[in-house]
Amino acid sequence: MTFLSRIRAFFVLALIGLSVSGCGYNVIPTKEEAAKAAWAEVQNQYQRRADLVPNLVATVQGFAKQEKEVLTAVTEARARATAINLTADDLTDPEKVRALQQAQAQLSGALGRLLAVSENYPELKSNANFLALQSQLEGTENRIAVARRDYIAAAQDFNTALRTFPTLFWAQTVFRSTKPLVPFTAEADAQTAPKVKF
């Protein structure tokens, strides 16, 4: 092989390498991994909330022995929420995502009732442990909202990449088995404004 043919071969390989690197082949796996990482953060925040619940229940239990029904409901809702294990690979299954969302919504509702019960106990509201746990729970709820928002954006970005050019070409050939991710949606009753009674 002559020097000139080596230079041509080098430029041809460089041109092929540049065209492949800019063609969008890596976009689909990159965006899918970003969406999976965003979902992992949602699960991380759900776990943080689930970890706070036993401490909150134990603190309230000491003050509110007659509120056993509410405490039982919170414990059962936590058990249901933590029993559902949704992996990043399950994000394309709408039924599994819906089951997790329902369990988490039930836990949120039960926690809301627990905090409402605490209003009946002024000495509980002034307890340092309860106040710290309540603050951590409120912070966790905010983190969950942010993590959900980030997952929604990452899933939208990934799903859009599967349907737009030039990544559409790769989605229909090399990544044919790759499915769109299920976006996070609010529960149906979240669309209605709550009724406030005084």
The string of pLDDT tens digits covering residues 108-163 is 888 887 777 777 766 666 677 777 878 888 888 899 999 999 999 999 999 999 99
Count of domains in the chain? 1
**Residue 73 belongs to some domain of the structure:** yes
162 touches 16 (CB < 8 A): no
Q: What are the distances in angstroms from CA 25 to CA 28, 110, 191?
A: 7, 46, 39
Separation between Cα atoms, residue 178 and residue 170, nearest integer Å: 10
> Each residue of 25-68: pLDDT tens digit?
788 899 999 999 999 999 989 898 888 888 877 777 766 665 66
Domain CATH code at residue 76 = 1.20.1440.20
d(CA 59, CA 37) in angstroms, rounded, equals: 34
Residue 151 lies in a domain: yes
Question: Which range marks the domain in which residue 178 is found?
Answer: 26-184
